[in-house]
């Protein structure tokens, strides 16, 4: 149940045009704390533990959880100090409730609940993936009445039809196996590149020929369109790269690393952009928002811009600093919740590692 004090706060906030929202993100390996007033970002403080995971070749949840515990208060203090804001001035608190890793999510939600109880401010447990789309408002302003969001990261490749970022999100499709960023990390490991592999493949791809090797485009055949028009699959592509590399090595041939990277990256970008443009056409939408860590990929950005321009579609991609996990995206989504008059979350809400994308908040 929402307390009477929370209900009074919610009623007051509904009348405020530009609420000051504190956002906390801790779904994986970044501890993010941000302050947003309306659609103005005041500060975005981030502490990352990615270097602690590099030697393991992937995220270790226990290490990430401990890192969040150590970083949460210093990052919060840094954010408040940088913005010259007192905690008592905050109107609402937003925190990632899912999806993500259970341990890291629990650290962030516990911190947010403690702050909510201490200050009497309403709390919103929000969806991390939808936050990756919401952050674009801080850069490009209000969203149109309806748009398509493509959220691509290490754990998610999702296509969303949105008519209200706070309350009206419908998932059209998602990855059936490896997400785009996950496939990049696995191919990077195959090629002997440091973790995370995405940035290294992106760098090498700029020096290679994207047409040197024709790798498969998953779920694009005519037989897949009926059931999986909006879904993605990159596991087969990853396997095709592995087999190609194995064949080259077995023949004693030197690996053309740049061409492999460019051809692989082109295959991923081709599928993501082709399906997005097709979805816009089928749903009568003329604006695309791309977010998530993998939206920093240069091949995806270039191909998306070219194809959207050719199709007469407006493309919105936030700067790279807002693509990876951060508190700004959570504060932005929380601000939209407050402005839309959405009721706060009950204090007993839990974390959900597999929160469905049909749920914007708990």
Number of domains in the chain: 2
Q: Is residue 357 part of a domain?
A: no
CA 3 to chain centre: 32
Indicate whether 334 and 195 sit together in one domain. no
Q: Is-contact 357 130, C-beta < 8 A?
A: yes
The stretch 83-98 carries a mean pLDDT of 97
Q: Is residue 355 part of a domain?
A: no
pLDDT of the residue at 15: 39
Indicate whether 157 and 260 sit together in one domain. yes
The stretch 61-75 carries a mean pLDDT of 94
Q: Is residue 18 part of a domain?
A: yes
Indicate whether 13 and 130 sit together in one domain. yes
In this predicted structure, the answer to whether residue 87 has a pLDDT above a threshold of 50 is: yes
Q: Is residue 202 part of a domain?
A: yes
Indicate whether 247 and 128 sit together in one domain. no
Q: Is residue 347 part of a domain?
A: no
Indicate whether 256 and 131 sit together in one domain. no
In this predicted structure, the answer to whether residue 10 has a pLDDT above a threshold of 60 is: no
Residues in the chain: 362
Q: What is the mean pLDDT of the chain?
A: 93
Its pTM stands at 0.91
Q: Is-contact 279 172, C-beta < 8 A?
A: yes
Indicate whether 87 and 210 sit together in one domain. no
Indicate whether 210 and 63 sit together in one domain. no
Q: Band the pLDDT of 57: cuts 50, 70, 90.
A: confident
The CATH number of the domain holding residue 30 is 3.30.420.40
pLDDT digits (tens, 9 = 90+) for 178-227: 899 899 999 999 999 998 899 999 999 999 999 999 999 999 988 888 89
Partners of 169 in the beta sheet? 162
pLDDT of the residue at 14: 41
pLDDT of the residue at 226: 84
Indicate whether 119 and 255 sit together in one domain. no
Indicate whether 154 and 87 sit together in one domain. no
pLDDT of the residue at 17: 66
Indicate whether 229 and 127 sit together in one domain. no
Indicate whether 96 and 156 sit together in one domain. no
Q: Is residue 344 part of a domain?
A: no
Phi and psi at 103, nearest 5°, equal -60, -55
Indicate whether 16 and 108 sit together in one domain. yes
pLDDT of the residue at 55: 74
The helix/strand/coil state of 27 is coil
Query: What whole-number distance in Å separates Cα of residue 319 and Cα of residue 359?
Result: 26
The helix/strand/coil state of 173 is strand
Domain span at residue 221 reads 145-320
């Amino acid at each position: 149940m929402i307390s009477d004090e929370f209900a009074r706060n919610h009623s007051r906030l509904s009348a405020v045009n530009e609420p000051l929202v504190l956002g906390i993100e801790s779904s994986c390996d970044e501890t993010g704390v941000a302050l947003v007033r309306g659609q103005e970002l005041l500060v975005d403080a981030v502490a990352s533990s990615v270097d602690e995971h590099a030697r393991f070749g992937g995220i270790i949840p226990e290490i990430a959880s401990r890192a969040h515990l150590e970083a949460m208060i210093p990052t919060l203090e840094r954010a408040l100090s940088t913005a010259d804001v007192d905690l008592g001035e905050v109107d609402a608190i937003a925190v990632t409730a899912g999806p993500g890793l259970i341990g890291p999510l629990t650290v962030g939600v516990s911190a947010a609940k403690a702050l909510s109880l201490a200050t009497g401010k309403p709390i919103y447990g929000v969806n991390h993936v939808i936050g990756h789309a919401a952050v674009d408002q801080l850069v490009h302003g209000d969203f149109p009445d309806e748009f398509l969001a493509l959220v691509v990261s290490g754990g998610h490749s999702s296509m969303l039809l949105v008519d209200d970022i706070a309350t009206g999100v419908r998932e059209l499709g998602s990855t059936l196996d490896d997400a785009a960023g996950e496939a990049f990390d696995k191919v990077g490991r195959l090629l002997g590149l440091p973790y995370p592999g995405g940035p290294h493949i992106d760098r090498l791809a700029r020096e290679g020929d994207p047409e040197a090797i024709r790798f498969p485009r998953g779920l694009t055949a005519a037989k897949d369109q009926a059931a999986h028009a909006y879904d993605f699959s990159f596991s087969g592509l990853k396997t095709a790269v592995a087999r190609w590399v194995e064949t080259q090595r077995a023949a004693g041939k030197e690996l053309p690393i740049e061409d492999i990277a460019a051809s692989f990256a082109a295959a991923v970008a081709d599928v993501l952009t082709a399906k997005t443009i097709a979805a816009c056409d089928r749903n009568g939408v003329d604006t695309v928002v791309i977010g998530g860590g993998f939206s920093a990929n240069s091949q995806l950005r270039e191909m998306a811009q070219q194809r959207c321009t050719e199709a007469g579609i407006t493309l919105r991609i936030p700067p790279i600093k807002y693509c990876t996990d951060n508190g700004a995206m959570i504060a932005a989504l929380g601000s939209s919740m407050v402005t839309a008059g959405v009721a706060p979350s009950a204090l007993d809400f839990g974390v959900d590692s597999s929160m469905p994308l049909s749920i914007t908040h708990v």
